[in-house]
A and B are shown apart, each in its own frame.
Chain A
Amino acid sequence: MDLTINGTIHTVNLPDDMPLLWALRDGLNITSVKYGCGIAQCGACTVHIDGEAVRSCQVALGDVWGEIKTIEALGTPDALHAIQRAWIDHQVAQCGYCQSGQIMQAADLLSRNPEPSDDDIDAAMSGNLCRCGTYPRIRAAVHAAASAMREA
């Protein structure tokens, strides 16, 4: 089966019913996508399919309907995306385990809503669990990223 991930086509030989999460992690060694719960309750595995944030633990490999993007497609340490820049400026991460998912969820929000209110952020981001409690800084970073992206 062929998967288009971050612009590159990968061929995987894994069962159709395997969650995309595990195909990415164990099949393709894309470990930025995290396992946290396996039941769409934590958001650590969030990736984009055709530009939409999805929980990769809930997408069977056989059901992948478009191009997959992980946080690597957003930006890298040498070429940060505005959202990542904001995450760094606000020093959001503590353990950091949930943050790839948080950032991918925020990217989805900001692609649809360039100037989100606190309520918009609450609605979009509340499916992403952070056990360290970085939420106040996530809120601030989303606002800062939105502002930076509007000015860009």
Chain B
Amino acid sequence: MGRVKNIARRSFLIGSAAILGGVAFGAWFVTRPTPNPLLDDLAEGEAALTPFVKITADGITLIVPRADVGQGIASTQAMLIAEELDIDPATVTLDPGQPHQAYFNGTVAADGLSFPGWDEGFVAETVRDLMMNVARLSGSQFTGGSSSTADLHETLRRAGATARETLKAAAAARTGVPRADLRTEDGHVVLPDETRIPYTELAAEAAGIEPVTDVPLRPASEWTRLGKPYQRLDIVAKSTGTQSYGIDVTLPGMLYAAVRANPGRGGGMASYSPDAALAMQGVRSVVEVDEGLAVIADNTWFAFKAAEALQVDWLPPDYPASSDAMWQALTDAHADEFQNSRLRDDGDVEAALSGAKVIEAEYRSPFLAHAALEPLNATVLVEDDAVTIWTATQVPHVVRDAAAEVTGIDAANVILHALPAGGSFGRRLDHDFVVQAIQIAASMPGTPIKTTWSREEDMTHDFPRPLHMSRGRGAVADGRVLACDLDSISPSLIASWFGRVFIVPPGPDAMLVWGAFDQPYAIPNYRVTGYAAPPLMPIGSWRSPGACSNSFFHESFLSELIHAAGADPLEERLRLIDHADSRRVLEAVGEMSNWSGADIGPGRGRGIAFAYTHGVPVAEVIDVTLTERGIRIDEVWIAADCGTVFDPVNAEAQLTGAAVYGLGHAMNCELTYDNHTVQQTNFDAFEGMRLRQTPKFHTRLLGQAEKVRGLGEPATAPAAPALADAIFAATGQRLREMPFNRSVDFA
């Protein structure tokens, strides 16, 4: 990193003390291997050669512990193992496994620190290592933060290699042929005379020998699956209606439940009457659950209708009643006593601005629902000494522990069937809906009960992306950006979400300023300050948390400064960028789009934005046209670099899908509140992008970055500012508040 190095270190001093407390366990404890959970319940003749590979006489099972919420990670995990194990992953069983320390996610913990991803200095790397060990010790098995591939790619390939060599060792012991003379192919060990021994036949013998762990990984040049176009393993099921999701779970004797919770989150109940609901057809009972009531009935529709009929006197929650009051709370928090971080402070902003013509702007980003298409649900069976749960979750370890806490049953007797999700976008990082389902099932032991939230419950009781605002001050000189001072104001996501599922780490909330403080620009006078507003209400991680708002603020304000300087939006960004990977994606997107400025003719406009999130630099160029029906997005070019691409067909889908998600919400989505209650309760008022509005996409993954990173989120953040920039180029109107349909119409 050349000039960009003046990230303030104060946060490190606060953060490291607590982290060092974790290290006091001793290096031997921190670094010893995590136990293999598959060894606990092996039958005779079965082998669990690593925590990720189980082989029996009947077949091979790969443990793929990261949750597939649509991003295709189940397939990627299987392919990573298969590349070294020499099996066809389409012929084996994939199992998410039970939550266990062996499946901890260190990367997501390390990414939450106050260091930008491109800072590879000693301090940053050391603290990252410490944080990974905290995650390892606590068995934190998150799926999130675009971290799965980054965290597991080496672990899974190593698991495949260990299993392969151990099977070869078993074959060597059986045949007397040295292991070095054996090879493997399509689930078989092959002898020099071409005799083929199926892995499944070797399981019993392999279980009896020490796993061979000292195995070098195959270089990319030898890969036969990774990096090549392949189909997701779930694609046939998902194209034929045969994929089963949590909402499809059907069990003998199962009953169905619906929830009616206080629309003011956390408000509680003064009183209620279940009588009207209990009198309705097919209703079995009414149960008190966290935040409200549930109805158990003979089918989901009876339960939904009866839940609506419940008469409840809700108590008001403790957050402001209206959106106006919430914005006022945020505005009021732009004050010294709310300052939470100043993680970027280069040059001398105050000196640069004094005497200069100061450019100022204020930006706003609304509350947003995750609104995955599969409404939240969980099926639970509570028995005397066991809890069985069927659901889709990004926090299986948290679900397991919650089940134990709610029922008093030992966590070892909680069985979680982790299922593919019909979307998530961060929502399943919370487990409130599972807790309710457990409470409901606990009221009727021995009967499995499927709890499904109505769409209206799902929208009303989200942990939304938080309200976020920003104020920028800046100056330009001699055709260049001279100073950029950005204040970012929002309730603390870390305080809210981590408080529910982990621990609130000490020190500043880096997520509050993700997408702003950590951008690899070398602006000579450059400052980013975070202000943590009062909590307002429980909030959650929404695809590219922090950055999904901050990138809009940061890139929009940078565009305003560049425009004031009279510079070209791409050229000036290239001049300011001081990070090779980031420079390359900007150059690539310029080349792909034949960039020659924002002016692409009358009635049209071209915009650009860049964001570095989750360790991935992404640049996007967007063309729009003004039509009689409104603004039409014509084309989008995306260049990104996540390092080695293992799963190219899916990677492209993640880029375009993330951009559609970012664009659709920027166009027309917001949650507003009145009387403490969300006003948008279904897709008629929270539409996102439709097919007719979808532009043509052009994508490129450069594959040159050194570190492997994930793509579920990174293309989300730059989409909104690139669109705003294009609209400015076409209309001269700066859009500083999302959603943009508050100001303009879209075709």
Q: Which residues of A pack against B, CB within 8 Å?
A: 14-15, 18-19, 22, 25-27, 29, 31-39, 41-42, 44, 70-72, 75-77, 80, 84, 87-88, 91-100, 103, 121-123, 125-126, 128-139
Contact = CB atoms under 8 A, between A and B. Distances in A.
B610 to A, nearest CB: 21
Contacts of B70: 94-97, 132
Contact of A136 (B231, B424, B690, B694): B694
A133 B69 contact: no
Contacts of B424: 95
B373 A95 contact: yes
B237 A97 contact: no
Interface of B: 69-72, 231-232, 234-245, 247-248, 250, 256, 281, 299-301, 304, 371-375, 420-425, 452, 454-455, 649-650, 653, 656-661, 664, 682-684, 687-694, 696-697
B659 A96 contact: no
Q: Considering the complex of A and B, which 3 residue pairs feature the smallest CB-CB distances, nearest first?
A: A133-B660, A32-B241, A95-B70
B694 A32 contact: no
A22 B301 contact: yes
Contacts of A100: 241
Contact of B234 (A18, A96, A131, A138): A96
Main secondary structure of the interface of A (DSSP, over half): loop
A32 B239 contact: no
A140 to B, nearest CB: 11
10 contacts: A37-B683, A42-B683, A80-B240, A88-B235, A93-B239, A96-B70, A125-B691, A126-B691, A132-B70, A132-B660
A25 B300 contact: yes
Given A35-B247, A99-B239, A132-B423, A91 B231 contact: yes
Contacts of B694: 133, 135-136, 139
A145 B638 CA distance: 27
A87 B241 CA distance: 12
A40 to B, nearest CB: 9
Interface of B is mostly: loop
Given A25-B300, A97-B374, A138 B691 contact: yes
A41 B682 contact: yes
Contacts of A41: 682-684, 687
A33 B664 CA distance: 25
A130 B664 CA distance: 11
Contacts of A126: 690-693
A98 B683 CA distance: 14
Contacts of A35: 247, 300, 375, 452
B454 A38 contact: yes
A77 B237 contact: yes
Given A22-B300, A93-B234, A95-B372, A129 B683 contact: yes
Nearest to B236: A77
Contact of B691 (A33, A94, A99, A121): A121
B656 A27 contact: no
A141 B271 CA distance: 54
Given A36-B373, A123-B692, A133 B301 contact: no
Contacts of A26: 256, 299-301
A37 B381 CA distance: 27
Contact of A39 (B281, B299, B656, B682): B682
Q: Which of A32, A42, A130, A131 has the most CB of B within 10 A?
A: A131
B369 to A, nearest CB: 10
Contact of B371 (A25, A131, A137): A131
A37 B240 contact: no
Given A31-B248, A137-B653, A76 B240 contact: yes
A87 B242 CA distance: 14
A66 to B, nearest CB: 20
A123 B232 CA distance: 29
A12 B421 CA distance: 30
A82 to B, nearest CB: 12
Contacts of B239: 80, 84, 87-88, 92-93, 96, 99, 103
A73 B694 CA distance: 30
A85 B171 CA distance: 41
Contacts of B650: 91
Given A41-B687, A103-B239, A133-B656, 7 more contacts: A25-B300, A35-B375, A88-B236, A94-B72, A95-B422, A96-B239, A97-B373
A89 to B, nearest CB: 9
B245 A97 contact: yes
A97 to B, nearest CB: 3
Given A15-B281, A36-B455, A136 B656 contact: yes
B640 to A, nearest CB: 16
A94 B244 contact: no
Contacts of B372: 95, 97, 131
Nearest to B685: A41
Contacts of A18: 301
A87 B248 CA distance: 22
Contact of B688 (A97, A131, A139): A131
Contact of A91 (B245, B304, B653, B661): B653
A126 B692 CA distance: 6
A134 B281 contact: no
A135 B653 CA distance: 10
Given A88-B231, A95-B423, A122-B692, A129 B373 contact: yes
B301 A19 contact: yes
A34 B244 CA distance: 11
B659 to A, nearest CB: 7
Contacts of A129: 373, 683, 687-688, 690
